[in-house]
Chains A and B, each alone.
Chain A
């Protein structure tokens, strides 16, 4: 969203370094992410784009040997600060993973899980509403409304991924992180998800890691190119794809390596 032509910055990463044990995975990443836009992170495998994504909701905490340095400001609040509560942070920042990972529970329980643990619904009725809206926003409602109490693992891959998106948006996060959400899906399911991403950016800021250049070009407004743990270049998707400043970016985009 642009207010008076000024871009609103949602997330501001400053000099982020990430180490796995002694090995440094990210070097000095500084990146601004605009509100209500889709930002794509591209780059060859192992370049650190997923690692960076996982810094944004502190999922790297789970990995014992992983340490993160630097500042990541979300709404001008440093999430790497000791006073930051991860549970509250992850309520605001949802995540969709590479492989669809619905809980082995019913569809309803999958979507209502977040609102339940965060106490967002006072009554069964309210919860029903949240579940319905979330599934509708994830473009899954029509397909599953008659079998909400069947296991979520019984859906097709694309449906499972949309279920995971419904689950992520059920708590109305400000930001949604997507880690290669379409890599396990067929082209039709991918197209559905991409359409969905376009729709979701009206209410959420979206950061998507993708291997597919075409996908980045289709869905994103901004793109960041990672290589060997460095952020080589970032800017509007148009510029990165048509007229990149850096030769490495040029080579990667035109398919000369990666």
Chain B
């Protein structure tokens, strides 16, 4: 009998040990996947935060720019920079023929004319002088410089030909190629040229969408939750509503996109591709999540608190507003953050309402066309140019950073609330 008991006890301990082992290995697996994922993203993406510049001597020849003596500011604005820009690139190889001159021009971004113009506008005294100007390298050379470009491919399969590589290598040898922090990745809108493309438009688009979503979804959801939990009679009708809210939470997001397309764009004629429509569509998606979270946290408030307030002669409304709702706020807020985080990463409904359009302006309000970060990832991932590969990862990094900051913010708010109420 005693021996039996000991065996049984041993068995129970062993079972517990095994269980702990399973738990640990599950956590280990999760961490492993996370590490691999983050490593992959970072190792591909980090280079996108660097940008390659060619340092090219530019002679600001007044004659080529068709400028008179003592030009005014407007004259400088309207001057023709194409010729001096072209000339400074062609001068990189004095022996270049016409075809080769064209190829030299393609070593920098099509924006190079503007970059030269800005240089002169900043310092009008440069007229007639020569200055070394930083020009954005083309995306392919950018990749060459970062070592991401397969130089050993046959020439006809490369977008950079041998001639360009030769000149580029000379520049590198002379120290005329420099890598700097890629500010334009954060300040530029999207572009067809990988070296100029940035996330400013989609970042602002995401922020505006989330704000619209929050402003619509949060009050509606919280009011609905409070009413259902604290005021509504429990009958078949409210049961029916509850079931349907749960159903709504399970509806695939693309369906909400179709709804936005069919109702917001087709019937209400709201402007296409805007964060306003995106935000409203996302709010439909976030609504059930917040309602469910808010109801759960209202339910978690102990009934004794409600009874205490009611017994003091507080009306139902006072009981709810003075006690139940503030106590449930931390839970509601974290539910809201989860909902918003979902919305932030949502792509499908935004594609349907046209936020996938190519937008090369930065939106100043929710009424301007914009993309959003996940859609931007989708657009870039579809692009053929090698330069976009690292941009996809970089954009994912920004999106993740955004999410982490949001969660941190939520935690801080939550913490403050909880301190106040316990």
Q: Which positions in A face B, CB cutoff 8 Å?
A: 57, 59, 62, 64, 87-91, 94-95, 97, 99, 101-105, 113-114, 117-118, 151, 153, 164, 167-168, 171
- Cross-interface CB contact of A164 among B302, B308, B310, cutoff 8 Å: B308
Bound-state CA distance A93–B308 (Å) is 13
How many positions in chain B have a CB within 8 Å of any CB in the partner chain? 21
Bound-state CA distance A89–B312 (Å) is 10
- Cross-interface CB contact of A95 among B302, B311, B327, B422, cutoff 8 Å: B311
**Those 9 A-B pairs whose CB atoms lie nearest each other, nearest first:** A101-B304, A95-B311, A90-B313, A91-B313, A114-B312, A101-B308, A104-B421, A87-B313, A117-B314
Closest Cβ of chain B to A120, distance in Å, is 11
Kindly list chain B residues whose C-beta atoms are within 8 Å of the C-beta of A64: 233-234
CB under 8 Å from chain A, chain B span 196-229? none
When the two chains form their complex, are residues B312 and A101 in contact, meaning their CB atoms are under 8 A apart?
no
When the two chains form their complex, are residues B315 and A87 in contact, meaning their CB atoms are under 8 A apart?
yes
When the two chains form their complex, are residues A97 and B313 in contact, meaning their CB atoms are under 8 A apart?
no
Mostly, the B contact residues are helix
When the two chains form their complex, are residues A101 and B302 in contact, meaning their CB atoms are under 8 A apart?
yes
Instruction: Knowing A103-B323, A151-B422 are in contact, say whether A171-B313 is a contact too (CB < 8 A).
Output: yes
Q: Which positions in B face A, CB cutoff 8 Å?
A: 233-234, 302, 304-315, 318, 322-323, 327, 421-422
Kindly list chain B residues whose C-beta atoms are within 8 Å of the C-beta of A153: 422
Kindly list chain B residues whose C-beta atoms are within 8 Å of the C-beta of A99: 304
When the two chains form their complex, are residues B311 and A94 in contact, meaning their CB atoms are under 8 A apart?
yes
Subset of 11 A-B contacts with CB under 8 Å: A62-B306, A62-B307, A87-B313, A90-B310, A90-B313, A101-B304, A101-B305, A103-B308, A105-B421, A117-B313, A171-B313
Kindly list chain B residues whose C-beta atoms are within 8 Å of the C-beta of A105: 421
Bound-state CA distance A164–B233 (Å) is 30
When the two chains form their complex, are residues B315 and A97 in contact, meaning their CB atoms are under 8 A apart?
no
Bound-state CA distance A95–B233 (Å) is 25
Closest Cβ of chain B to A166, distance in Å, is 12
Bound-state CA distance A164–B309 (Å) is 11
Closest Cβ of chain B to A187, distance in Å, is 23
Kindly list chain A residues whose C-beta atoms are within 8 Å of the C-beta of B322: 113, 117
When the two chains form their complex, are residues A90 and B312 in contact, meaning their CB atoms are under 8 A apart?
yes
- Cross-interface CB contact of A117 among B234, B304, B318, B422, cutoff 8 Å: B318
When the two chains form their complex, are residues B307 and A97 in contact, meaning their CB atoms are under 8 A apart?
yes
Bound-state CA distance A105–B318 (Å) is 15
Kindly list chain B residues whose C-beta atoms are within 8 Å of the C-beta of A168: 311-312
Give the nearest-CB partner of B233 in chain A: A64
Bound-state CA distance A155–B338 (Å) is 35
When the two chains form their complex, are residues B421 and A62 in contact, meaning their CB atoms are under 8 A apart?
no
Bound-state CA distance A21–B306 (Å) is 22
Kindly list chain B residues whose C-beta atoms are within 8 Å of the C-beta of A59: 307, 310-311
